[in-house]
Amino acid sequence: MLAEGGGIVGLGRYVYDLGTNAWGSCFAEVEVDMRTGQVEVLRLVVAHEIGRVLYPAGAEAQIHGGAMQGLGFAMTEDLILDRESRIPVNASYYEYRPPTALDYPEMVPILIESPAKSGPFGAKGLGESPIMGPAPAIGNAILNATGVLMPELPYSWDRVHHALKAAGKLATGELRT
Amino acid sequence: MKLQIDEPRPFKLVSPASVDDAVKLWHDNPGKAMYLAGGGDVVDVVKRHLAEPTLLLDLKRIPALRGVSAKVDDPQPSVTLGALTTLRELSEDTNVRRYLPALAAAASRVATPQIRNVGTLGGNLLQENRCPYYRGPWHCYRHGGMHCYARHGFHREHAIFGGDRCYVVSPSDLAPVIVAGNAIVHVVGPKGPRTMDAEQLFVPASSNLTRMHTLEDGEVLTAIEFRVRQPQQPRRAIEAGLGVRGSVAPLPLEERFPSVFVKYAMRNSFDFALASVCIFLDRDGRRVHRCRIALGAVAATPHRARDAEQVVAGNLLTDDVIHEAGRAAVHGAEPLELNGYKVGLVQKLVTQALQELNT
């Protein structure tokens, strides 16, 4: 129709190359206090396949930063609404509780190189992807440690305590070392 | 007058040169003035309009309120801390670290280095509670309302002991230290100076819901004094007189009266305690004569774990005694729906603190 009317028509084609995707995985080691529900993340191993690594220090820093954001997402950060009024009860940076420098677990970033054809110099993107890994990894680590699957993020003390109690796994006696 | 969010009402800032000047200024402006120390809490309270003073009296320019003085060679040894001493000074002072390690530890666990540089001992003890309903747009009991919104709302960080209509907790990390240390609180007010025991500084929910401390209008907290309340001579003299061991050299103060502070929070920095514990002992070697245990952030006041104290007093700190004390520390706990984890946490804290004292 447009061509008949004298318009300009262009025809393009795009085939999505799966090789452009950056892939990643995350492994978490946690310690769960069976009396209180406190979960301490001891170690995060974060591996990312990002094509040709152009700037290793920058890429590792990206993983550090992303994994820490993911850690906050997994453990403490939550927008909490009052049940009745639906007004936020933690509308401040203190109460939202993003993790601090002293909450840093041992972090092991791993960069895997496999140059991609589609990117410049074989590079792929590494932006937000390290944020995704920690929450499911920590959730599965808690499952592995306690046998209890956490149904909801974040894995805060009260929620883990509640889940352990519901599963009958809460330790009530003393824990001797 | 139209105010922006978080904008305080206009106030005048005055810096009196002495405590008497400050008290007089307060007396001349009744109901309008507020004392300002580090400002960490007062500024927030003023910005949220929880209080609306027209005059702020800055106590930081009063040199007499600052500093640590230790009289360790007196017959009744004491360490006195000015109320305007910053938390950083407390955590770094040699005498505090040596004779009151619990106080140094507690001061170093408050908030962040920036806040510890300005935050003061007195300000930390007298700060308002952190209940989000109290600080938010809810008209709760503490504001003169007829309802506690936290009770059936969000109360993850609320009290497990002594909740009575209101379930706020004492947010201070230093409060359990002065209660466990049986410190003396020095106060100056319009009616002159007075002193009280540390425990009397705090108000349980059952007695008054509108205040967190017992300072009367216009009173300034001037100093906290830790003193060896009973001379350690007589018992020694008896032993020496009976010739049990000949003349025994008295233990150094820091070994006779050890103390420890442990705090757990959701984050390792920049966070108020979910629960904390401070323990002061009076002991010879492993035998404990007296013991005072105060828990922070589990009640509206620092909560004395008296049952646990009785388990420890008079005993050797064996593993059995330590675990028994941990169990006794949670006697009478009444957790709400979301703060049940605090029961296990208190048990863990008391056990851990006693184990630290044992090493």
A-chain residues within 8 Å CB-CB of B347? 35, 174
Whether A46 is covered by a domain: the verdict is yes
- Tokens representing residue B260 in the block: 């420890």
Same domain, B115 and B21: no
Measure CB to CB from residue B323 to each of A97, A160, A174 and give the nearest one: A174
Specify the DSSP class assigned to residue B58. Answer: E
| Domain count within chain B | 2
| pLDDT tens string B54-99 | 999 999 999 999 999 999 888 888 999 999 999 999 999 999 999 9
pLDDT at B243: 39
Whether A49 is covered by a domain: the verdict is yes
Whether A139 is covered by a domain: the verdict is yes
User: What domain range includes position A134?
Assistant: 18-146
Distance from CA of B274 to the nearest CA of A (A): 10
Closest C-alpha to B303, from B232, B205, B223, B210: B205
Q: Does B238 score more than 50 pLDDT?
A: no
pLDDT at A116: 83
Name the catalytic one among A31, A95, A106, A128.
A128
In sequence order, the 6+-apart residues with CB closer than 8 A to the CB of A148 are A142, A160, A163, A164, A167, A169
Residue A128 is a catalytic residue: yes
Whether A176 is covered by a domain: the verdict is no
Same domain, B53 and B78: no
| pLDDT tens string B148-194 | 999 999 999 999 999 889 999 999 999 999 999 999 999 999 999 99
Q: What is the pTM of this model?
A: 0.90
**CATH number, domain with residue A104:** 3.30.365.10
Q: How far apart, in whole angstroms, are the C-alpha atoms of residue B206 and residue A11? A: 79
Q: How far apart, in whole angstroms, are the C-alpha atoms of residue B169 and residue B134? A: 12
Q: Where are the beta strands (DSSP E) in chain A?
A: 23-32, 39-49, 106-112
Q: Test A83 with B345 for CB contact under 8 angstroms.
A: no
Q: Test A95 with B268 for CB contact under 8 angstroms.
A: no
Task: Please state the φ and ψ torsions of residue B95, each to the nearest 5 degrees.
Answer: -65, -40
CB A62 within 8 A of CB A126: yes
Q: Does A166 touch chain B (CB under 8 A)?
A: no
Q: Does B294 touch chain A (CB under 8 A)?
A: no
Whether A33 is covered by a domain: the verdict is yes
Whether A13 is covered by a domain: the verdict is no
User: What domain range includes position B11?
Assistant: 1-63
Whether A131 is covered by a domain: the verdict is yes
Q: How far apart, in whole angstroms, are the C-alpha atoms of residue B89 and residue B188? A: 23
- Beta bridge pairs of residue B276: B263, B296
Closest C-alpha to B329, from B313, B343, B315, B314: B343
Whether A99 is covered by a domain: the verdict is yes
From B25, B40, B63, the end of a domain falls on B63
Among residues of chain A, what percentage have pLDDT more than 90?
68
| Domain count within chain A | 1
The ipTM of this complex is: 0.87
